[in-house]
Amino acid sequence: MNEIEAVIDTNIFISALIGRAKSIPKVIINALYERKFSLVISLPLIRELEETLQDPKTE
């Protein structure tokens, strides 16, 4: 387990999905994939992410 733990807000996940390759949100998500820190997440945050991804305005 990494020493660094972080909570990532929904807007960071969404921005990483739709943003430019070198955007800060994509850099954050890439660091997560590279296991540079551990993700701390809650069920309400997962639900918010699901709702946001299903919202037609997000497209």
pLDDT in tens, 35-58: 999 999 999 999 999 999 998 886
Taking the C-alpha atoms of residue 49 and residue 11, their distance in angstroms, rounded to an integer, is 9
DSSP 22: T
**Residue 21's pLDDT is what?**
86
Cα→Cα distances 33→26, 30, 36, 37, 54, Å: 10, 5, 8, 9, 23
The total of structural domains in the chain comes to 1
Q: Which of 22, 25, 21 is nearest to 11 (CA)?
A: 25
Grade residue 59 by pLDDT with cuts at 50, 70 and 90.
Answer: low
Q: 39: domain range? A: 5-58
What's the Rg (C-alpha) of the chain? 12
